[in-house]
Structure formats: C-alpha cells, structure tokens
Amino acid sequence: MAAEEFSHPPLAPTILPPYPEVILAAIEALDDKNGSNKSAISKHIEDTYGELPPAHMTLLSHHLNKMKQSGQLVMVKNNYMKPDPNAPPRRGRGRPPKPKADLPPDAVVSPPRARGRPPKPRDPSAPPQTKSPSASSGRPRGRPPKKAKTGGGAPPATAASGTPRGRGRPPKVKTGVATPVGC
C-alpha cells in the first residue's frame, strides 16, 4: 500500500487540435514575409502545446506535404506560407484541355467518335449476308495442326539408326574409301 500512496497520478495527455489548424496558426503567429520553415513551425507548436506525440516530426511533414499538394500552403525556398489570394490558380500537370466553344442552344451535339477504324459502310439495298459453307473452300482458316506421329511411316534415316533425326541440316558424311596416291 505504501507504493500506491507515493505514485504520481497519470498525466493527462495533451489535447492537440488537428495538425492543419495547428500549422496554419503557427504560420500566422510567426508572421514572416518569406514564410516559415519546418523547424520554426515545429518549435512554435512545441512552445505552444508543450508535450507532443513521439511521431510529431513525421506527422508534421505528412500534413505539410498534404497541405502543399491541396493548395492550402505554398512552398518557396524551403519556407511554407499561405498562398496569395490575388495569385492566379496553379495549373496541374500535363497539357491543359482545349477550350470548349459555346454552342447556340438549338445546335445538335453528336456523340464523340468511337476509337479505332470505323466499319465499312453497308449497302442498304444489298441483302444481308449469311455465312454459308458452300461459299468457302471447305478448309478452315489458318495453318493446319501438326499431324500425330504414327509407327509405320518413319523416314528411312531414322529407321536405319533407330534414333530420331535432329534439327537442321545433317552433317556431311565422309566415305571410307581410301585410294593410295601415286600408284
């Protein structure tokens, strides 16, 4: 029981507002015309709120990047600042879309063309074509399938040696007839 008497009550965790609000408040409080860097923003948050979570720098970096991407903050020379309300909006990546021409209200708009090559026009007076077997030669299209090997029709070279013939041109056969030179 003596240990329970001298134990300190648990410290209440610091209630920190959402990071985007804290960051914007720090930038406004620092009020630097060139903006505030990450370490200055972090120092101000630490001075204002005291105890911070262990992942404070990671959270701060994440939220600064997120706010920069969404346009809530502008980064100039490693300093974060609020965007100028009079500045033109930032363009996205890639080529800008073509401007749409204003059409009169009575104009009929056709649907966009389909991708790929358009089909050949059909003659409306011609009768519809149906596939008939008599119109073709009776053979299926494409290369015929390989025939299965049968035991009786082996080529003579493989029948004599008993081994299957290899790929490519066979080697040149040298004859065993030797004639003496100069006889």
- Residue 93 and residue 162: Cα distance in Å, rounded? 70
pTM of the model: 0.43
Q: State residue 3's pLDDT score.
A: 47
Extract the residue ranges of the chain whose pLDDT is less than 70: 1-14, 90, 128-136, 150-162, 177-183
| Extended beta strands in the chain, E state | 74-76, 79-81
Domain boundaries, the chain: 20-81
73: closest CA among 99, 39, 38, 46?
38
The DSSP-derived string for 48-86 is: HH-S--TTHHHHHHHHHHHHHHHTSSEEETTEEEPPPTT
Give the whole-angstrom CA distance, residue 141 versus residue 4: 92
Q: If you ran DSSP here, which 8-state letter would residue 85 be given?
A: T
Residue 16's nearest CA partner among 26, 1, 28, 4 is 26
Q: What is the pLDDT of residues 114-152, one digit of tens each?
A: 888 888 888 878 776 665 555 567 788 888 888 877 665
Cα 68 from Cα 88, distance rounded (Å): 16
Q: Which architecture does CATH list for 20-81?
A: Orthogonal Bundle (1.10)
Structure confidence at residue 62 (pLDDT): 94
Query: What are the C-alpha distances in Å from 80 to residues 3, 23, 25, 40, 118?
Result: 50, 10, 12, 10, 53
